[in-house]
Amino acid sequence: MIARIVRRLVLGALTIVCVYSVTFLMVITVPGNPFRQGERNIPPEAEAALRIRYNMDNNWIYFGEFLRGAVALDFGPSFSYSDWTCNQIIADALPVSIMLGLLAVFLGVLVGVPVGVMSAVRRNGWFDVTTLGLVLLGISVPTFVTGSLLLTVGGVYLGWFPIGGWGTLAHLPLPALTLSLPLMAYIARLTRTGMLDVLGADFIRTALAKGAPPRTVVWKHALKVAFLPVLSYLGPAAAQTMTGSFVVEKVFGVPGLGQHFVNAALNHDPGLIMSTVLVYASILIALNIVVDVLYGWIDPRISGAV
Amino acid sequence: MALDTGHCDHGAPLLEVRDLATLFRTDEGDIRAVDGFSLAIERGRTVALVGESGCGKSATALSIMRLIAAPGRIIKGSIILNDRPDTPPVDLLRLDDRAMREIRGSRIAMVFQEPMTSLNPVFTVGEQIAEAFELHTELRGRAAMQAAIEMLVKVEIGAPQSRAAAYPHEISGGMRQRVMIAMALACGPSLLIADEATTALDVTLQMQVLDLLREVQRESGMSVLLITHDLGVVARWSDYVYVMYAGRVVEHAPVARLFAKPLHPYTRGLMACAPRLGERADRLQAIPGSPPDPRHLPSGCRFHPRCALCVERARDRERFTAAPEHATAVPLLRRCVERFPEEASGAPELRQCDNDHWVACWET
């Protein structure tokens, strides 16, 4: 088990280097100039001096220096947010996104799994049919629609939650719910499919023949097996949710990390682009390793493999 | 038994199934998997239920356990369990779900055919056996696990301590079936239903598992309903045999009697199929055709399209030309093929033809 985790970590580090290389290549080839954005129009001599100052006069040196900084968790300055380092920006925004994301994933599992189980148990009943419709909505309606809707109802009509901003607990529920709706839908669907597969299995009949009540059979014997596809989905889904969503942050005025992915690219801010991408990649890889370990723990059949 | 004033009539069978019918509703029509099935199992005896695949054997077993899943439904009959001297006989089909659950796994237990898939892959075998104790006895947690380990000893699994912590994929097929048996026997059932319990095992393992079951039966005095299509197993172990075809019993008799003098053409066909040691057979016999589509059962006797007797006599054209008005004069063969509207069932009923030997055929 330990050896497997170490191997995954080494592989993960290699993956991150690849991600970094591709991102770097895109940053230097995309047309645009970090030193000449909008109002900023500095003299060519100053630009040349800055390029030397930040190792940007030579791409090979820049590649190496940024990587060396990144390994030491120092991503250097942001060029679009003057006086801010990329570290400060991420340290400000990432906890916000992680908090929202965790809450959203938690809600998604809390609602999605039981709904999926009950749909599968009452297959083709009214609950299942209704749920299928809602799942379709949850997956297909974009977050700017659900977010605005929730904001209108919960913030404007009912007045239970602040319209936007960040800082108090009351600011959490609406954006978290918005983020969690598609998660709930996917998780409900995955759970339902998994349960339908498992409920027909011979070992379910064995459990019933033993005299176990249907509740135990469904929630213990069946769900432990049926949860596995949900778990595999949760790794990447949580990584994505926990690194913020540009749309949800815009709708609710949340100072999360999602906006920086977009703004960094729009502003040609190379340090911020690469640092946000690296943060996302690291979280994704870390969560996948966590999922892998949990997977082996739930399903002993695969703990020897990979 | 002077004190035994009570409910348990020792003459009455331990389990009596009467006129059981189980129906599966499908889009392509109803499937009468079990249709007017009756059977009795005496205390301590082994009753075999034989027939080809798809004749309703497993549906019968699952009906007795009341584990028929939708779209299946038991539509009529009664299943009387009379296993305890201190409790009155109960009709399983009249019990509520909770009462039925208390019987399942404790008074009636079942061993299934597929040892590979019948155990939950994500729980250890110890946990799965211990669960039976937790469901039906006062034992919990560590005590239940200890009892589970004792069951593993009883089914002759080596190193029971470490085996209990193993997952099903870590042990062999034969061992898994022993685990299934340990689970079934955990609460000392009065009746064990063994549904093709040895079919998936290789011959040596089959013998070991059978010997084990017989040993346990001798110790505990439980009854066994042995469901199989292996006549060798039937001859070796059972006391009494029911032969099933298309959801109905076509013949039943004590095992020696049945093997000595099979009466129903289907039973004879089955026996002809089994190769016999010391007898030279260049070609194995087989019953022609296959069991009927349960959605479209043949009229008259359900076996007649495959019946050697019927085919043979059908050559005699004159029998067919007789007019139906002269019912008594009509040659019997005609009844095999057609359904008479005035008869309750188109199929022949069981009739006694010798002491405890019953057959459902008009022609023998």
Counted domains in chain B: 2
* C-beta atoms of B121 and A221 within 8 A: no
B133 and B28 within one domain: yes
Measure the CA–CA gap between A10 and A126, rounded to whole angstroms.
49
Does residue A39 fall inside a structural domain? Answer: yes
In the predicted model, is pLDDT for residue B344 greater than 60?
Answer: no
> Residue B84 — pLDDT band, cuts 50, 70, 90?
confident
Average pLDDT on B109-125 reads 88
Name the residue among B112, B167, B184 with its Cβ closest to that of A205: B112
- Residues of A with a Cβ under 8 Å from any B Cβ are 201-203, 205-213, 221, 224-225, 298-301
Residues from chain A contacting residue B121 (CB–CB below 8 Å): 203, 225, 299-301
Domain span at residue A31 reads: 2-71
What average pLDDT score do residues A143-149 get? 90
Q: Give me the percent of chain A exceeding a pLDDT of 70.
A: 97
Helices B173-185, B141-154: inter-axial angle, 10-degree rounding: 120
Residues B118, A298: C-beta atoms closer than 8 Å: no
Last residue of a domain, one of A22, A39, A71: A71
CA of B185, closest CA in chain A: separation in Å? 10
**Chain A residues whose beta carbon lies within 8 Å of the beta carbon of residue B167:** 300-301
Enumerate the residues of chain B whose CB falls inside 8 A of the CB of residue A206: 112, 118-120, 180, 183
Chain A residue closest in CA terms to B71: A123
Dihedral in degrees, nearest 10, Cα atoms B200, B204, B207, B209 = -60
pLDDT at A115 over 90: yes
Q: Which pLDDT tens digit goes with each residue over A176-193?
A: 999 999 999 999 999 999
pTM above 0.80, yes or no: yes
Q: Let me know whether A188 and A289 are in one domain.
A: yes
What CA–CA distance (Å, rounded) separates A235 from A242?
Answer: 11
Q: B317-340 pLDDT, tens per residue?
A: 444 455 454 444 445 555 676 655
Strand, helix or coil for residue B193: strand
In which band, very low, low, confident or very high, does the pLDDT at A158 lie, cut at 50, 70 and 90?
confident
Same structural domain for residues B179 and B91? yes
In this structure, is residue A258 part of a structural domain? yes
Last residue of a domain, one of A27, A43, A71: A71
Min Cα separation A184/chain B (Å): 25
B292 shares a domain with B228: no
Asked if residue A151 is part of any domain, the answer here is yes
Are A46 and A184 within one domain?
no
A98 lies in the same domain as A209 = yes
Q: Indicate yes or no: CB of B118 within 8 angstroms of CB of A212.
A: no
Q: Could you tell me which of B307, B246, B195, B230 has the C-alpha nearest to residue B55?
A: B246
At position A18, the amino acid (one-letter code) is C
The string of DSSP codes covering B274-309 is S--TT---SS----SS-PPPTTSPPSSSTTGGG-HH
A145 and A97 in a single domain? The answer is yes
CA distances from B126 to B105, B113, B282 (A): 16, 20, 49
Chain B residues near residue A210 by CB distance under 8 angstroms:
104-105, 109, 131-132, 135, 183
What distance in Å separates residue B349's CA from the closest CA in chain A? 32
Residue B172 falls within a domain, yes or no?
yes
Inside any domain, residue B10: no
Q: How far is B8 from chain A (nearest CA, A)?
A: 24
Cβ distance A284 to A239 under 8 Å? yes
Q: Which two tokens stand for residue B117?
A: 């898939």
Q: In this structure, are B327 and B236 located in the same domain?
A: no
pLDDT at A306: 41
Its ipTM equals 0.83
Domain assignment of residue A80, yes or no? no
Q: Domain limits at B343?
A: 265-276+285-359
Q: Which residues of B119-134 are buried (b: 16+ CB within 10 A; e: fewer)?
A: bbbbbbbbbbbbbbbb
Distance CA B241, CA B252 (A): 6
- In this structure, the answer to whether residues B210 and B95 fall within a common structural domain is yes
Domain harbouring B92, CATH code: 3.40.50.300
Judge whether A299 and B122 are in contact, CB under 8 Å: yes
Domain boundary among A71, A100, A121: A71
Which chain B residues are closer than 8 Å to A225 by Cβ? Answer: 120-122
From the number of C-beta atoms within 10 Å of its C-beta (0-12, 13-18, 19+), residue A38 rates as exposed
Residue A69: Cβ within 10 Å count = 18
Contact flag A207-B120 (C-beta cutoff 8 Å): yes
d(CA A156, CA A149): 10
What does the block give as tokens for B197?
A: 């319990």
CATH of the domain at A144: 1.10.3720.10
Q: Report the domain count for chain A.
A: 2
Summarize pLDDT for B59-82 with one digit per residue, the tens: 899 999 998 887 888 888 889 988
Instruction: Report if residue A173 sits inside a domain.
Output: yes
For the cut 90, the answer to whether the pLDDT of residue A14 exceeds it is yes
The reply to whether B218 and B328 lie within a common domain is no
Output the pLDDT for position B282.
62
Please indicate, yes or no, if residue B138 is contained in any of the structural domains.
yes
> Based on the domain organization, do B238 and B291 belong to the same domain?
no
Question: What is residue B3's predicted lDDT score, i.e. its pLDDT?
Answer: 42
Q: What pLDDT is recorded for position B275? A: 65
* Distance in angstroms (rounded) separating the CA atoms of residues B227 and A210: 19
Determine the distance in angstroms separating the CA of B233 from the nearest CA of chain A, rounded to an integer. 23
The CA–CA distances, whole Å, from A27 to A52, A59, A279, B157 equal: 18, 11, 16, 65
Of A206, A213, A225, the CB nearest to B118: A206
Residues of chain A in contact with residue B67, where contact means CB-CB under 8 angstroms, are 205, 208-209
Q: Buried (b) or exposed (e) across A255-275, using 16+ Cβ within 10 A?
A: bbbbbbbebbbebbbbbbbbb
Q: Over the stretch A217-272, which tens digit does the pLDDT of each residue have?
A: 999 999 999 999 999 999 999 998 988 888 888 888 888 888 888 888 888 888 88
My answer on whether B272 and B233 are in the same domain is: no
Task: Please state, in angstroms and rounded to a whole number, the distance separating the CA atoms of residues B218 and B44.
Answer: 8
Tell whether B123 is within 8 A of chain A (Cβ).
yes
As a whole number, mean pLDDT of residues B119-136 equals: 92
Residue B158's contacts (CB-CB under 8 Å, 6 or more residues apart) are none
The reply to whether B110 touches chain A by the CB within 8 Å rule is yes
Q: Are residues A122 and A266 in the same domain?
A: yes
Which residues is B244 bridged to in the sheet? Answer: B249
**Residue A162 domain-assigned (yes or no):** yes
Flag whether B4 is in a domain.
no
User: pLDDT of B197-219, one tens digit each?
Assistant: 877 778 888 888 888 888 889 88
pLDDT at B8: 45
Whether A33 shows a pLDDT value over 80: the answer reads no
Are A210 and B120 within 8 A, CB to CB? no
- Give the mean model confidence (pLDDT) for residues B112-119: 84
Domain membership of residue B253 (yes or no) is no
Are B241 and B328 members of one domain? no
pLDDT tens profile B17-58:
998 989 888 888 788 888 888 899 988 889 999 988 878 888
A232, A120: one domain: yes
A124-128, A144-148, A162-166, B13-17: lowest mean pLDDT where? A162-166
Cβ separation A211–B120 shorter than 8 A: no
Same domain, B269 and B214: no
Q: Kindly state whether residues B270 and B216 are assigned to the same domain.
A: no
Mean pLDDT score of chain A: 87
Regarding whether B271 and B235 lie in a shared domain, the answer is no
pLDDT digits (tens, 9 = 90+) for B233-283: 888 888 999 999 888 888 888 988 888 888 888 888 888 877 666 666 566
Answer yes or no: do A183 and A273 share one domain.
Answer: yes
Whether residue A85 lies inside any domain: the answer is no
- Residue-averaged pLDDT of chain B: 81
> How far away is chain B from the Cα of A174, in angstroms, using its nearest Cα?
38
CB contact under 8 A, A211 and B114: no
**β-bridge pairing B248-254 and B357-359:** antiparallel
User: Within chain B, where are the H helices?
Assistant: 57-64, 97-103, 125-136, 141-154, 160-164, 173-185, 203-220, 231-237, 255-260, 265-273, 308-314, 318-321, 333-337
Nearest to B106 by CA among B73, B80, B83: B83
Residue A76 lies inside a defined structural domain of this protein: no
Nearest to B119 among A203, A212, A213 (CB): A203
- Does A121 lie in the same domain as A42? no
Q: Hey, CA dihedral for A97, A99, A101, A104, is it positive or negative?
A: negative
- Residue A58: its pLDDT value, please? 82
Nearest to A206 among B102, B103, B112 (CB): B112
Residue of A nearest to B136 (CA): A211
